[in-house]
Amino acid sequence: LRVIVIGGGAAGIFTAINIAEKNPACEVIVLEKSAKLLSKVKVSGGGRCNVTNERHLPKELLPFYPRGGKKLYPVFKKFSTGDMVEWLSVHGVKTKVEPDQRIFPVTDDSQSIIDCFLRNAEKFNVKIHHSVAVEKIHFGNANWHLETNTGRFEADKVIVATGSSQTVWNWLSDLGLHVIDPVPSLFTFKIDDERLRSLQGISFEQVKVRIVGNKLSEDGPMLITHWGLSGPAILKLSSLGAIWINEQHYDFEILVNFLSGYKEQEVRELWTDYVNLHPNRKVHKYPLWGIPGRFWERLLSLAEVNNGTSFGEMSKKSTNKLIEELTQGRYHVSGKSTFKEEFVTAGGVDLTEVSLDDFSANRFPGLYLAGEVLNIDAMTGGFNFQACWSAGWLISDSISKSIE
Ligand SMILES: Cc1cc2nc3c(=O)[nH]c(=O)nc-3n(C[C@H](O)[C@H](O)[C@H](O)COP(=O)(O)OP(=O)(O)OC[C@H]3O[C@@H](n4cnc5c(N)ncnc54)[C@H](O)[C@@H]3O)c2cc1C
């Protein structure tokens, strides 16, 4: 039996190794368009490779996948994050868990994952062809036929693991698969606003950001950058709202509650208590609720509070303005930017085209799809790679069973 994996990225190499390890009699070939394998793994997680996440119950994982979601329940039931940690351990990579539950190799070096994959690919006789780009595939005479820039290949089974490639989506569409238009996910918000100017580097531990015009909101840390806003709350929101935001042409408004745990009314009550307790304290000297000093000052000047004003002297108008800015600061987003060059693509082959029991194409026997080529994507935290590992494992299992 000959299996060809198209794409030597995370999903492709992991799938190839597992097929070869479980089926020594199988000829497993990887065709990779570029000169390098696993190039995204190399740069992932800031060069450390956030390989998976400590959350391991399928139910816990689902909310992290805006595209995929509940449909992935049976997938993670069969191969979850814990299974990947064990796989890595068995195949020679020790991992560690960080306080935020992200998992990395103990070496803090993505090369450890690459070395492990390449070592095991060699051990199980996976044949790798570099600089071979697949240009078209079709099924005929009980075989898959692949046309590439270097000639033709034939295979009994084909796994498409080409990541986000428009050319591949085009030929998959021609083959008859429904492809959902790709849009970027995991980006930061470009905001040109007086309130944020020159404040890059200031971070907030816990804010709530809501998109005006839909019901999406996210909590978490947020960071002011020189082009706008970034940090986990923003990235998560970009992932949840990827499609809607694209429809708005990256032009929309957000409301930021810098006091995430509190509603406006509660803040007003706390304010009154504080003023009664410390009427003579100078407002500029006492930023409340852990608001960073420089941002506090910016908001005070916006609320027209002069330097030297005490809490007891604050006018009603200024107090209202300050509380409004703190609990529902309205910002106009006018574009997107990448976060440490980290991004994924929402969209790809529609999940109705595959059986999520084994990632086989429903209408094309012997064809499988894994990784970002599918309409599955997640928030940051190792979840995007996990989708690749789980698919690869299930495909390899399915191929073993088909041979038995
Ligand atoms: C900077 C950055 C950092 C990231 N960090 C993390 C992280 O820490 N944790 C995490 O979970 N996710 C991370 N991600 C997301 C993660 O990298 C992707 O989800 C993952 O790489 C997808 O794997 P894949 O195998 O589907 O696609 P890819 O890794 O993109 O691999 C696809 C491969 O297919 C090849 N190919 C394409 N077309 C053809 C063709 N026609 N013929 C032959 N070969 C072809 C490509 O050259 C490529 O090598 C990061 C992404 C980026 C950009």
Per-residue pLDDT of 20-35, as tens digits, reads 999 999 999 999 999 9
CA 318 to chain centre: 40
Distance in Å, CA 39 to ligand 1 centroid: 7
Q: What average pLDDT score do residues 331-344 get?
A: 84
**Distance from the alpha carbon of residue 218 to the mean position of ligand 1, in angstroms:** 26
Measure 21 CA to ligand 1 centroid, in angstroms: 23
pLDDT confidence tier of residue 403, bands split at 50, 70 and 90: confident
Confidence grade of residue 315 (pLDDT, cut at 50, 70, 90): very high
Residue in 238, 236, 242 with CA at minimum distance from that of residue 221: 236
Residues framing ligand 1 (Cβ under 6 A): 6-12, 31-34, 39-40, 43-45, 49-50, 133-134, 161-163, 165, 168, 341-344, 371-373, 382-385, 388
Judged against a pLDDT cut of 70, whether residue 339 lies above it is answered with: no
Residue 261 is predicted with a pLDDT of 81
- pTM here is 0.93
Distance CA 70, CA 77 (A): 12
Q: Is the separation of the CB atoms in 336 and 187 below 8 Å?
A: yes
> Residue whose CA is closest, atom 31 of ligand 1?
9
Q: Whose CA is closest to 346, among 172, 166, 177, 186? A: 186
Residues in contact with 23: Cβ distance below 8 Å, sequence separation at least 6, in sequence order: 1, 396, 399, 400, 403
* pLDDT mean over 277-297: 97
